[in-house]
Amino acid sequence: MKFVCYKDTIIKALNSVVKGVASKTTMPILEGILIQTNEGEIKLTTYDLEIGIEYTMKCDIKEHGSTVVNATMFTEIIRKLPDSEINISVNENNLLIIECEGALYKLATMNPDEFPDLPKIEVENSIELEQGTLKNMIRKTIFAVSSDENRPIFSGCLFEIKDNKLNVVAIDGFRLALRKINLPVAVNDFKAVIPAKTLNEVIKILEDSFEMIKIGISKNQALFEMENCKIVTRILEGEFLNYNSVIPDNWQTRVRVNRTDLQNSFERISLISSSAIEKEKKYPVRVTVDIGKMIISCTNQTGDAKEEVFITTEGKYLEAGFNPKYFLDCLKAIDDEEIFVEFGSNISPCLVKSVENNDYVYMILPIRLKNE
Alpha-carbon torsion 55, 56, 57, 63, what sign? Answer: positive
Of 91, 114, 137, which closes a domain?
114
Amino acid at 340: F
Mean pLDDT over all residues of the chain? 92
Q: Report in angstroms the alpha-carbon separations of 216 from 132, 192, 221, 230, 339.
A: 18, 10, 8, 11, 34
pLDDT digits (tens, 9 = 90+) for 310-333: 999 999 999 999 999 999 999 999
Of 114, 143, 163, which closes a domain?
114
Q: How many helices (H) and strands (E) would you count in the chain?
A: 6, 25
Average pLDDT over residues 265-292: 78
Question: CATH number of the domain that 138 lies in?
Answer: 3.10.150.10
Question: Whole-model pTM?
Answer: 0.90
29 has a pLDDT exceeding 60: yes
The confidence score (pLDDT) of residue 41 equals 94
Which residues span the domain enclosing 33? 2-114
277 has a pLDDT exceeding 60: no
Q: Are residues 95 and 138 part of one domain?
A: no
pLDDT digits (tens, 9 = 90+) for 40-91: 899 999 999 999 999 999 999 999 999 999 999 999 999 999 999 999 999 9
Instruction: Enumerate residues 6+ apart whose C-beta is below 8 A from 342.
Output: 248, 251, 253, 254, 350, 351, 352, 353
Q: Are residues 147 and 109 part of one domain?
A: no
275 has a pLDDT exceeding 60: no
Q: Are residues 254 and 233 part of one domain?
A: no
Distance CA 267, CA 298 (A): 12
Assess if residue 120 is contained within a domain: no
Distance CA 128, CA 126 (A): 7
Distance CA 76, CA 292 (A): 56
Q: Are residues 224 and 139 part of one domain?
A: yes
Confidence of residue 371 (pLDDT cuts 50, 70, 90): low
Q: Are residues 231 and 215 part of one domain?
A: yes
Phi/psi at 64 (5° precision):
-80, 155
Confidence of residue 108 (pLDDT cuts 50, 70, 90): very high
Average pLDDT over residues 94-102: 95
Q: Are residues 156 and 47 part of one domain?
A: no
DSSP secondary structure, 22-54, as one string? -SS-S-GGGGEEEEEEETTEEEEEEE-SSEEEE
Q: Are residues 78 and 18 part of one domain?
A: yes
Average pLDDT over residues 175-192: 93
Assess if residue 371 is contained within a domain: no
Q: Are residues 95 and 10 part of one domain?
A: yes
pLDDT digits (tens, 9 = 90+) for 112-170: 999 999 998 999 999 999 999 999 999 999 999 999 888 999 999 999 999 999 999 99
pLDDT digits (tens, 9 = 90+) for 234-262: 999 999 999 999 999 999 999 999 999 99
Q: Are residues 33 and 93 part of one domain?
A: yes
Confidence of residue 207 (pLDDT cuts 50, 70, 90): confident
Assess if residue 119 is contained within a domain: no
Nearest to 192 by CA among 165, 175, 167, 214: 167
Give the SS3 label for residue 168.
strand
Q: Are 253 and 289 in contact (CB under 8 A)?
A: yes
Q: How many CA atoms lie within 13 A of 87 on its CB side?
A: 10
Assess if residue 283 is contained within a domain: yes
Assess if residue 369 is contained within a domain: no
Q: What percent of the chain has pLDDT over 70?
A: 97
Assess if residue 226 is contained within a domain: yes
What is the Cα Rg of the chain in Å?
25
Distance CA 372, CA 369 (A): 6
* H or E element in which residue 8 lies: helix 7-17
293 has a pLDDT exceeding 70: yes
Q: Are 271 and 277 in contact (CB under 8 A)?
A: no
Q: Are residues 197 and 255 part of one domain?
A: no
Kindly report the number of other CB atoms within 10 A of residue 134's CB atom. 24
Q: Are 298 and 305 in contact (CB under 8 A)?
A: yes
Q: What percent of the chain has pLDDT over 90?
A: 83
The confidence score (pLDDT) of residue 357 equals 87
Distance CA 146, CA 139 (A): 15
The confidence score (pLDDT) of residue 134 equals 96
Q: Are residues 282 and 184 part of one domain?
A: no
Q: Are residues 346 and 272 part of one domain?
A: yes
Assess if residue 173 is contained within a domain: yes
For residue 2, the cross-strand partners are 63, 89
280 has a pLDDT exceeding 80: no
* H or E element in which residue 264 lies: helix 259-273
279 has a pLDDT exceeding 50: no
The confidence score (pLDDT) of residue 282 equals 61
* Count of structural domains, the chain: 3
Assess if residue 15 is contained within a domain: yes
